Every structure is written in C-alpha cells, then in structure tokens.
Structure 1
Amino acid sequence: MCVIEERPVIETQRLTLRAPAKADVERVAAYCADRDVARMTTRMPWPYTRAHAEDFVARCGAQDRSRDNTFAIHLADEGMVGTLGMFTTAEGEIELGYWIGRPYWGKGYATEATRGALSWVRERWKKRYVTAGHFADNDASGRVLVKAGFLYTGVVEHKPSIARGEPAATRMMVWLA
C-alpha cells in the first residue's frame, strides 16, 4: 500500500528533499537559465524565465502525491541547489529525473539525493522498480545513476528535449530494490 504524504520530506546526510516553495522561484529561475542545465532535461524550456519558474513551483504544489512527487534539493546554509522528481508513466512505472545547478555540479549532491529518493520510494510507495534515463551526451548523469544503483537496460530511446528543440538519444536504466 502506498503511503500518501501531503508534503513529504527526505533527509540525507547533507541534504533535505522537500516540496518546492515560492521562496525557491529565484533560484530555480537562475539555475535553469543556464542552457547547459536546460538542455540535459526533457521538459525544461530554454531560454528559461522567472515565469517558467513560477509555473514550475505552482505545478509541483498541485501534484497528485500518490503518483508524482517533485522535491527541491536543499543544502543547509546554501538553499535549493536543484530538483528531483518521480513520476508515474502512462505504463504505471515510476520514472526518476533530476537537475542540479551548475555551481553544485561534481559534489555528489545528485547521487545523494537520488539514493535518498529511492529509499523513500521503496519505504513509502512500496515500489521496487524505478526507471531513469540520461541523454547519451551526458555521461555525468549516467555516473550519478550508476552510483545510486541503476543498471543499464541496453535500450536507447529518443526522448524529447524542449530546450534542444529535438529528441535526444537517451540511455535507459532501471533500479531494482
């Protein structure tokens, strides 16, 4: 049985994963205005504006938390450094995605947040299977997912990238609890 929490919070060693709030809009807008952040996601437009950030935070607040959860990745004494989301696909699978602001790349935050989210999905949603993918030209994201316990499936899909304006080869992965 899936436990539904109105505003779930996940604590890791260095991070707090919590619902995005209006106070995060400025940081979301600033980090997502970086083309290199936007182009490694499927849903993020570029150029990215404050209005996009406001809409993003509002949509996160309206999610059906029994199916989808987006978390702000919060670093103590810094603030929000990225987001991580888990979404139920049309096929009923849970898919994980994330982005981290450029000043925080290479510090292990994406891996730590992903591990925390996977533990939460296993414990709260009672799920034992999660999918993810990374664009083939984003090896760093592949390393994050491998360190978090994902395995390559051998499947390459062409997923849309709004910021790129075209589909991008996406290496698909799976996590099994």
Structure 2
Amino acid sequence: MDVTLKTARLTLRQPVMSDAARLARFLDNFAVSGNLSRVPYPYRLADAKAWLRTWSPGFPAGETGFTIDLDGEGLIGHVGFHDDAQGTVIGYWLAQPFWNRGLMSEAVRSALDWYFETTGAARLDSGVFHFNKASLAIQKKLGFIEIGSSYRLCLARGEEVRHIDTQLSRAAWAEHR
C-alpha cells in the first residue's frame, strides 16, 4: 500500500532507493543493529540497496513498512509489518542520535493506528530481545502485553538470543488511543 502518515513531528512514508545512504549510515551501528533480528552488522550500502529493492507500494498492510522522516532532518528510522512465526508482527528501529525524544513512540503509535484502521486484524504481535528495555517500554506504553518468551536469531550478534514475545489486541489498542 502506498501510504503516507503524518504526526506532529514525523512523516511516515514508503522507503525509496534514495534512502540507502542514510539507512546504511544509521544501521551500521551495533547499538541499533544489535537490537534487531533481521539486520546484519556491519551494515553496508549494498545491504541497504538490496533491502530497498524488496519494497513495493503494492504490498498488503501486513507487509507494509514506513520510513520515518523527522521534519527538517530526513530519514531517522523505520517501522514496519511482516509475517513471522507468531503471525503479523511490527518491528521498528530508530537511529541512535534520535533516541530519548519520544519519536519512536510517536511513529509506532501512528503505524498502529493505520494498521488497525486498515485491517480487520484482532491482534498484532511483536517482541524485543531481553536486553532492549527501551523498546519494551514503548510497547507496554502502547498497550502490548508480554505473552511468553522464545529464542530468535540476531543476525548482528550471530547467535540465538532470548526474546520477550508481546501482543497487542484490537481492544487494547482502542483503549490506549
């Protein structure tokens, strides 16, 4: 779906090839990539271009992603949906220079609003590696609950890592709006 979302400070838009340099710059940081399942480290320009070639505006809601642009700054992160063993999950990352400003909560809230308004989904799954307290705090603030734990491969770390599995029901989303 070719969708653009606006918040008070952000524009969430479809990724484009011209994003490659900033993606590579921000994901080639272990403090970011080491918190993600599907991102290698080091992360090079070729990785960014290969990932961007996989995007299409025709994807259904459960496979849609949004580049996060900060007004006046440009690309600072990404939030998106994809199919996983849990079902449809939301994942996200924010470039380290922009941490601790409430930007990720703002972006994820907007993406969640769009997802639940666009789909008939009863729930959405997610989770974090056990050491990613900031991401877990964002999820809890937005109504996600812990539903268990598992182990997931972290490409950047090259190993299976304990993962806290979370879930957001449509009812909890409506309550936290």
TM-score normalised by the chain length of structure 2: 0.90
Q: How much does 1:89 deviate?
A: 2.9
Deviation at 1:125? 1.6
Q: Distance in 2 between matches of 1:12 and 1:128?
A: 24
User: What letter is aligned with 1:131?
Assistant: D
Unaligned runs of 5+ in 1: none
**1:12: Cα distance to partner?**
1.7
CA deviation string 1:18-42 (max 9, x = no partner): 1111221111000001011111000
Q: Give a deviation string over 1:146-166, Cα, whole Å, max 9, x none.
A: 11221111x111011000000
SS in structure 2 of the partner of residue 59 of structure 1: coil
Q: Does structure 1 residue 85 correspond to structure 2 residue 73?
A: no
Task: Calculate percent identity across the aligned residue pairs.
Answer: 29
Q: Which position in structure 1 is the counterpart of 2:122?
A: 128
> What letter is aligned with 2:97?
P
Moved more, 124-133 or 63-72: 63-72
Q: Deviations over 1:53-97 (max 9, x none)?
A: 111111123773254011101111000100011112356x22000
Q: 105, 111, 117: which is aligned to 2:105?
A: 111
Structure 2 matches for 1:17-96, cutoff 5 A? 17-61=12-56, 64-90=59-85, 93-96=87-90
RMSD: 1.5
Aligned residue-pair number = 170
For the Cα contact (< 8 Å) 2:61–2:115, is it kept in 1? no
* Residue 54 to residue 62, structure 1, CA distance change in 2 (3 Å): farther
Separation in structure 1 between the aligned mates of residue 6 and residue 57 of structure 2, nearest angstrom: 22
In structure 2, the CA distance between the partners of 1:62 and 1:47, relative to structure 1 (3 Å rule), is farther
CA distance, structure 1, for counterparts of residue 142 and residue 62 of structure 2: 22
With over 3 angstroms needed to count, the CA separation of the structure-2 counterparts of 1:88 and 1:60, relative to structure 1, is same
Conservation of the 8 A alpha-carbon contact between 2:61 and 2:81:
no
What one-letter code is carried by the residue in structure 1 that aligns with 2:76?
A: V
* CA distance in structure 1 between the aligned counterparts of 2:59 and 2:84, rounded to whole angstroms: 13
**1:122-169 deviations in Å (ceiling 9; x for gaps):** 11122230011000011011011111221111x111011000000110
1:140 paired to 2:118: no
Q: Which residue of 1 aligns with 2:149?
A: 156
Q: Kindly indicate whether residue 162 of structure 2 is the aligned counterpart of residue 169 of structure 1.
A: yes
